[in-house]
């Protein structure tokens, strides 16, 4: 550890699985990068629902406790492992799907350069939301110009990323949000039409406005919407299940009417090569457009438990939640 001046730094630790109150911010030993990693001085960390499932001990793959929560972040490179070639000391970077971003320092295996003008909070919002959106929209669905898509839940992290990535490739995107301000928010993301999924009758309106149906539906709440989605597909259209929190009942006959299909999305099944490819393309998207991740709320590291509560309990999303580590 002699090559680093600091020996300890703050980290948000989960000592045992449980509610948001189990997160403890403490001074911990500095992470020591290996030859394939860089050491990043974090300026911001993203908050995602998956981190709350893991903290609660309700996820397929669980780390051993204690662990530092957080997968996404952005900051400045302070040390570069011998085998890392794409970044250098002093570079501003973002990353996603790493371990332990809610901390002053983290070892990162897949750093991506943060283009000039993109803030650290924006960079920290790219990871899981944009990597998931990229995987779902381009890698798995193969959506292209000419397709009409529905993002069912476009106001949150993944949904807003889907809307922006679709607009980048001239894919016509229709979105939903659950509040008035959410509807306004999604309109600003390049949506052709926005519906309020809390209002009675919105599905009939969608059906009347889009009688040809949707080529793809990206679903954030399949436990509520899957059966409805099957009736909104274009011939040979597909539903991509991204979010689901309970069991649901469907009438599969609807799939016969359109020769439609349903598939699941799992960012965690991405290979390293795929994640590198998605990240590289997300950097291109930032360079080629003026779209940026939209920050709903920023928290201090000490407030991370509140951020975990808010992402699960607050409806009326408007983009991403972020922990700021440097003011």
- The binding site for ligand NAP (CB under 6 A) comprises 48-50, 128-129, 132, 152-153, 155-159, 176-179, 182, 197, 220-221, 224-225, 242-243, 265-267, 311, 315-317
Reply yes or no: is the peptide bond before residue 66 cis, omega within 30 of 0: yes
What three-state secondary structure class fits 196?
strand
Q: Quote the least distance from Cβ 249 to ligand NAP, whole Å.
A: 16
Closest contact distance (angstroms) between CB of 244 and ligand NAP is: 7
Residue closest to 95 by CA, chosen among 123, 56, 122: 123
Alpha helices per DSSP H over the chain: 49-55, 120-124, 127-134, 157-168, 180-187, 202-209, 222-230, 253-258, 272-288, 304-313
Closer to ligand NAP at the Cβ: 49 or 81?
49
Q: How far is the CB of 130 from ligand NAP (least distance, A)?
A: 10
- Strands (DSSP E) contained in the chain are 8-14, 23-29, 38-47, 67-68, 73-80, 92-95, 105-108, 112-113, 148-152, 172-177, 193-196, 214-219, 233-241, 261-264, 295-299, 320-324
Task: For the CB of residue 33, give the shortest distance to ligand NAP in the complex, in Å.
Answer: 26
Whole-number minimum distance, CB 181 to ligand NAP, in Å?
9
Strands 8-14 and 23-29 turn out to be antiparallel
38 or 158: whose CB is closer to ligand NAP? 158
Question: How far is residue 117 from each of residues 122, 223, 286, measured CA to CA in Å?
Answer: 10, 39, 10
Phi/psi for 30 (5° steps) reads -70, 140
Q: Of the candidates 289, 298, 304, 325, which has an alpha carbon nearest to the alpha carbon of residue 118?
A: 289
Which C-beta is closer to ligand NAP: that of 192 or that of 297? 297
* C-alpha to C-alpha distance for 212 and 222, rounded to whole angstroms: 22
Measured from the CB atom, the residue of 33 and 213 that comes closer to ligand NAP is 213
User: Which one, 86 or 196, has the nearer CB to ligand NAP?
Assistant: 196
In the bound state with ligand NAP, the residue whose beta carbon lies nearer, of 38 and 177, is 177
Q: How far is the CB of 108 from ligand NAP (least distance, A)?
A: 19
Rounded to the nearest 10 degrees, the angle between the axes of helix 272-288 and helix 157-168 is: 70
Which residue, 4 or 17, has its beta carbon nearer to ligand NAP? 17
- Which ranges constitute the DSSP H helices of 25-139? 49-55, 120-124, 127-134
Specify the residue, 47 or 80, whose C-beta has the smaller distance to ligand NAP.
47
């Amino acid at each position: 550890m002699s090559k680093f001046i600091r020996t300890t730094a703050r980290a948000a630790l989960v000592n045992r699985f449980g509610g948001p109150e189990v997160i403890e911010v403490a001074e911990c030993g500095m992470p020591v990068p290996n030859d394939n990693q860089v050491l990043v001085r974090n300026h911001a960390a993203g908050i995602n629902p998956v981190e709350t499932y893991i903290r609660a001990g309700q996820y397929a793959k669980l780390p051993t406790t204690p662990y530092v929560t957080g997968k996404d972040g952005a900051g400045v490179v302070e040390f570069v492992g011998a085998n890392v070639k794409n970044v250098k000391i002093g570079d501003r970077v973002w990353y996603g799907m790493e371990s332990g971003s809610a901390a002053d320092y983290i070892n990162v295996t897949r750093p991506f350069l943060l283009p000039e003008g993109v803030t650290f909070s924006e960079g920290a919002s790219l990871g899981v939301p944009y990597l998931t959106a990229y995987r779902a929209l381009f890698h798995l669905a193969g959506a292209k110009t000419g397709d009409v898509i529905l993002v069912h839940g476009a106001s949150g992290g993944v949904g807003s990323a889907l809307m922006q990535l679709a607009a980048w490739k001239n894919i016509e995107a229709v979105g939903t949000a659950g509040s008035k301000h959410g509807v306004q928010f999604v309109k600003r993301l390049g949506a052709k039409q926005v519906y309020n999924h809390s209002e009675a009758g919105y599905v009939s309106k969608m059906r009347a406005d889009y009688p040809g149906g949707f080529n793809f539906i990206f679903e954030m709440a399949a436990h509520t919407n899957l059966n409805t989605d099957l009736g909104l597909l274009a011939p040979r259209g597909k539903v991509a299940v991204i979010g689901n929190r309970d069991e649901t009942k469907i009438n599969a006959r609807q799939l016969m009417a359109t020769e439609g299909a349903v598939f699941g999305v799992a960012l965690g099944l991405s290979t390293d090569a795929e994640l590198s490819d998605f990240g590289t393309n997300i950097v291109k998207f930032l360079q080629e457009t003026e779209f940026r991740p939209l920050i709903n709320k920023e928290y201090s590291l000490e407030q991370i438990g509140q951020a975990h509560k808010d992402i699960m309990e607050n409806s009326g999303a408007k983009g991403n939640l972020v922990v700021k580590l440097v003011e």
